[in-house]
Structure 1
Amino acid sequence: MVATESMAPPRLGVEGAAIVVGGGAFVVCGVVALLSFWGRSLPIAGPGSVGQFAAIAAGIVGFLTYTAGRLWHRQGLTPFEASDGRGRGTAGRATGADIVDTFAIALAYGIVALLGWLVLGAVLADGFQDATVYFLSAAVLAGAVIGVTAYAVFASSAGMDLMRLSTLLAAFAVIGILTAMLSAPDPHWWMLHLSALGMTRSVSSLAFNLTLIIAGVIVTAIARYATDARGIEDPRRHAAVLRVRVGLILIGVLLACVGIFPLNVSQVLHNVSAVGMVLVFALVVFWVRAALPEAPRSFFVLGYVFFAAIVVALVFFVIGYYVLTAAELVAGVLVFSWLIVYLRVSGAAAPAVR
């Protein structure tokens, strides 16, 4: 029996630990929910609802569980298996940058869990109009939501790599922006521009600006882990990789600055950050071929097509065919989409680690 267990694939150990973490979260949070809900019937969504309780608790548990998943490997708070630039195993410990990146990713997981369950609760509330949930059932449901969240986040955290980070970045950006759109106090915000979502003192603006800031931090982490120049002997390729790294870091910083400086705070800094991000993206698209020559040709063509589409969208805005919101959405979606594809291609190009 001992020999059989020692020969089990490492992934089974991760799954076993994730089951324990998820089960523990289900029991603990279920008991807390039971004590909080005792004797009451709760609405599905809204203030004081089972959906609100489960979403907030899932957000907190998601953050803590991701951190625990990284510590489970006993390598410190490194975003990947080790901090050598692409997640390959090393004996090194976590650096300060590793810890910052890890907490940023953990926060993204927590926010995705929070907003995701809030949205699902709202959908269910629309499907079960005026329905309430008895306190015992509510406690079980809340415990199940939190247990599933803990299990999924721990399993993802313990095996985090560039591929999974690309999925997180996509989910985080989509959920954050959609939440801001759906909760905007002015339903006609789109008549102005996309940045109008971040100009009010509301939950919508908080979600919009926080999404941009955290996404920017994640992109700067991508720059370090997806552009490892060590071991590259060709000086031209080494320089190209470093250029791409600097470009990605600038994109991340400028993206965060778009959220840090909403239009109502500083129009100049906001616009410089937004335009600068698109300009740097254009440079990176043309630099990446020399930095990652092993990537498929379709990846390079995709970048050129995206760049051309952004130029066309901006021209349409200038001639009055597009409103500013449409041009911003096209540019933002294409830049994010390319970053996600680049992250996956870079991860696929990295040597597999076991």
Structure 2
Amino acid sequence: MTGVRQRSTERVAARAAALDLEGAAIVVGAAALVVGAIVSLPFFWGRSLPIAGPGSLSQFAALTAGVVGIAAYVVARLWHRDALTPFGGRADRPSEAPAARRSLTGPALFDTVVIALAHGIIAVLGWLVLGAILADGFQDATVYAVSATVLAGVAVGFSAYVIFLSGARMDLMRLSTVLAVFAAFGILAAMLSAPDPHWWEYHLSALGMTKSVSSLTFNLTLIVAGLMMAAIARYATDLTGVDPAVRPARMRVRVCLILIGLLLAGVGLFPLNVSQILHNGSAVGMLVAFSLLVFWVRRALPEAPRSFFLLGYVLFGVIVLAAVFFVTGYYVLTATELIAGVAVFAWLTVFLRVSGAAARG
């Protein structure tokens, strides 16, 4: 009877906490809506704006939503907490957190800033893409100032609401989704806005070689995604309560994750036209680190399901096969790079989710 009563009390407390969080998110979203409308009104007054393109409604709403979204994420990380932290529950102090999560509750300003920046960029790219789609659906349509102000405010408010909830509930499993969405949005946006529609005839790195917004988007996506991976490496390989025999393997996995993150950032930081040696060296080094990671992770995470290890071996084989096809002339370089990139990100996303599930246990 005591156990049933305790579980009932826990469910009531969890529901109250969830409603409390939703209420706070609504307040943050409403405040962001007002801010977005107030900021946009002077820019829109007396004008009829295009839906997409330079000086458009979607462009202004996207930039404002990105800035406000970053602030909303930081506010969410401070929700019921003493310090900026990328993960953790509602405990105010590390000593009050569950033992399995205690290592995730320390101050981590850099981690929080990087993940907040990723949320802001997702908001920017999301509204820009939506604006482009709507512009195609409403050819040559314009939006009056008052309507544009309301729409911009709603876009900013909705972004702040969603990002606040994401930040307040952030853990490894949710972060895996953020990382995947961020990378997908960034690369797709760079592809769609590339000044040369036939960039794919060369290689994937051609997206980052021009002085266009497309190249800026491509390189910035790689840099931020790499910093995110490097920042969360220690949380994905938490050593709290780990068997001493497993610690060395987990540390090797941590080093590989950090290397993958830094080398991915290096690919974006050094475009092919800036330094071919540093660019190619970063790309090859990232694949080498990933290959080691696939074969080392079994000892570092022995509780993971066998299907996870099998997935790693299969994806490694796919990358090798794609490389063989390229060497024999069957694949172009772009196809090989895309296959390798998708395989690496897919495995890393699943790894974060498996690590998160193991930590919850």
* TM-score between both structures, scaled by the size of structure 2: 0.91
Do structure 1's residue 110 and structure 2's residue 120 form an aligned pair? Answer: yes
Report the 3-state secondary structure (helix = DSSP H, G, I; strand = E; otherwise coil) of the residue aligned with 1:9: helix
Alignment correspondent of 1:282: 291
2:357 corresponds, among 321, 338, 348, to 348
Do structure 1's residue 66 and structure 2's residue 73 form an aligned pair? Answer: yes
Report the 3-state secondary structure (helix = DSSP H, G, I; strand = E; otherwise coil) of the residue aligned with 2:195: coil
Mapped to 2, the partners of 1:345 and 1:164 lie a distance apart of: 12
Name the aligned partner's letter for residue 88 of structure 1.
R
1:268 corresponds, among 277, 280, 283, to 277
Report the 3-state secondary structure (helix = DSSP H, G, I; strand = E; otherwise coil) of the residue aligned with 2:325: helix
Deviation sequence 1:93-134 (CA, Å, 0-9, x none): 41xxx1111101111111110011001001000000011112
Mapped to 2, the partners of 1:133 and 1:204 lie a distance apart of: 26
CA 298–7 in structure 1, closer or farther in 2 if over 3 Å, else same: closer
Mapped to 1, the partners of 2:88 and 2:80 lie a distance apart of: 8
RMSD: 2.0
CA 350–92 in structure 1, closer or farther in 2 if over 3 Å, else same: closer
CA 91–245 in structure 1, closer or farther in 2 if over 3 Å, else same: closer
Contact 1:294 1:349 in 2 (8 A): yes
Alignment correspondent of 2:88: 81
CA 292–112 in structure 1, closer or farther in 2 if over 3 Å, else same: same
Q: CA deviation at 1:324?
A: 0.5
Name the aligned partner's letter for residue 200 of structure 2.
W
Do structure 1's residue 147 and structure 2's residue 157 form an aligned pair? Answer: yes
Mapped to 2, the partners of 1:318 and 1:225 lie a distance apart of: 38
Mapped to 1, the partners of 2:333 and 2:83 lie a distance apart of: 45
Alignment of 1:234-313 (within 5 A): 234-235=244-245, 237-313=246-322
Name the aligned partner's letter for residue 264 of structure 2.
L
Mapped to 1, the partners of 2:305 and 2:53 lie a distance apart of: 48
Mapped to 2, the partners of 1:61 and 1:273 lie a distance apart of: 33
CA 63–321 in structure 1, closer or farther in 2 if over 3 Å, else same: same
CA 87–320 in structure 1, closer or farther in 2 if over 3 Å, else same: farther
Q: CA deviation at 1:37?
A: 1.5
Report the 3-state secondary structure (helix = DSSP H, G, I; strand = E; otherwise coil) of the residue aligned with 1:42: strand
Per mean C-alpha deviation after superposition, the further-off stretch among 73-82 and 289-298 is: 73-82
CA 60–291 in structure 1, closer or farther in 2 if over 3 Å, else same: same
Alignment correspondent of 2:214: 204
Deviation sequence 1:312-334 (CA, Å, 0-9, x none): 00000000000111100000000
Q: CA deviation at 1:183?
A: 1.1
Alignment correspondent of 1:221: 231
Mapped to 1, the partners of 2:16 and 2:102 lie a distance apart of: 17
Mapped to 1, the partners of 2:175 and 2:198 lie a distance apart of: 33
CA 333–128 in structure 1, closer or farther in 2 if over 3 Å, else same: same
Mapped to 2, the partners of 1:224 and 1:189 lie a distance apart of: 37
Unmatched tracts of structure 1, length 5 or more: none
Alignment correspondent of 2:5: none
Unmatched tracts of structure 2, length 5 or more: 1-11
Contact 1:81 1:87 in 2 (8 A): no
Mapped to 2, the partners of 1:25 and 1:346 lie a distance apart of: 34
- Count of residues paired in the alignment: 344
Do structure 1's residue 316 and structure 2's residue 325 form an aligned pair? Answer: yes
Q: CA deviation at 1:26?
A: 0.9
Among the aligned pairs, what percent are the same residue?
66
Mapped to 1, the partners of 2:104 and 2:215 lie a distance apart of: 43
Mapped to 2, the partners of 1:212 and 1:122 lie a distance apart of: 23
Name the aligned partner's letter for residue 300 of structure 1.
F
Mapped to 2, the partners of 1:61 and 1:300 lie a distance apart of: 40
Per mean C-alpha deviation after superposition, the further-off stretch among 59-68 and 25-34 is: 25-34
Do structure 1's residue 47 and structure 2's residue 54 form an aligned pair? Answer: yes
CA 274–101 in structure 1, closer or farther in 2 if over 3 Å, else same: same
Q: CA deviation at 1:87?
A: 8.1
Report the 3-state secondary structure (helix = DSSP H, G, I; strand = E; otherwise coil) of the residue aligned with 1:133: strand
Runs of 4+ with >3 A deviation: 5-8, 89-93
Q: CA deviation at 1:36?
A: 2.5
Contact 1:222 1:343 in 2 (8 A): no
Q: CA deviation at 1:35?
A: 3.1
* TM-score between both structures, scaled by the size of structure 1: 0.93
CA 28–315 in structure 1, closer or farther in 2 if over 3 Å, else same: same
1:326 corresponds, among 310, 335, 346, to 335
Report the 3-state secondary structure (helix = DSSP H, G, I; strand = E; otherwise coil) of the residue aligned with 2:49: strand
Name the aligned partner's letter for residue 188 of structure 1.
H
Per mean C-alpha deviation after superposition, the further-off stretch among 293-302 and 71-80 is: 71-80
Contact 1:317 1:323 in 2 (8 A): yes
Name the aligned partner's letter for residue 260 of structure 1.
L
